[in-house]
Chains A and B, each alone.
Chain A
Amino acid sequence: MLDRDEDILKAAEDWQKAGRGVALATVVETWGSAPRPAGSSLVINDEGTFLGSVSGGCVEGAVVTEAMDVIESGKPKMLEFGVADETAWNVGLSCGGTIRVFVEKVG
Chain B
Amino acid sequence: MKLAILHELNAERAARRPVILVTDTESGEQRLVKAADFAKDPLRAELEKQLRMGKSANVEVGGKKLFLNVYAPTAKLVIIGAVHISQALAPLARSLGYDVTVVDPRTAFASPERFPDIPLVAEWPDTALPPLNVDAYTAFVAVTHDPKIDDPALLHAFERNCFYIGALGSRKTHAKRGDRLRAQGAKESDIARIHAPIGLAIGAVSPSEIAVSIMAEITAVLRLPPKEKEEAA
Which residues of chain A have a CB within 8 Å of any CB of chain B?
1-4, 9-10, 12-13, 16-17, 24, 26, 28-29, 37-39, 75-76, 78, 102, 104-107
Contacts and interface: CB of A to CB of B under 8 A. Distances in A.
Contacts of A10: 10
B175 interface: no
B interface secondary structure, majority: loop
Given A39-B69, A104-B1, A2 B54 contact: yes
A40 to B, nearest CB: 9
A9 B6 contact: yes
Q: Which 5 A-B pairs have the closest CB atoms?
A: A2-B97, A39-B56, A1-B54, A76-B28, A1-B72
Nearest to A26: B69
A interface secondary structure, majority: mixed
A40 B224 CA distance: 24
Interface in B1-42: 1-3, 6-7, 9-10, 13, 23, 25, 28
29 contacts: A1-B54, A1-B70, A1-B73, A1-B97, A1-B137, A2-B54, A2-B74, A2-B98, A4-B97, A9-B9, A10-B10, A12-B1, A12-B6, A13-B6, A28-B25, A28-B56, A28-B58, A29-B58, A38-B55, A38-B56, A38-B69, A39-B70, A76-B28, A102-B23, A105-B1, A106-B6, A107-B1, A107-B2, A107-B3
Nearest to A10: B10
Nearest to A100: B25
A1 B56 contact: no
B6 A1 contact: no
Interface residues of B, number: 27
Contacts of B109: none
A38 B57 contact: yes
Nearest to B30: A104
A29 B54 CA distance: 15
B75 interface: yes
Contacts of B25: 28, 76, 78, 102
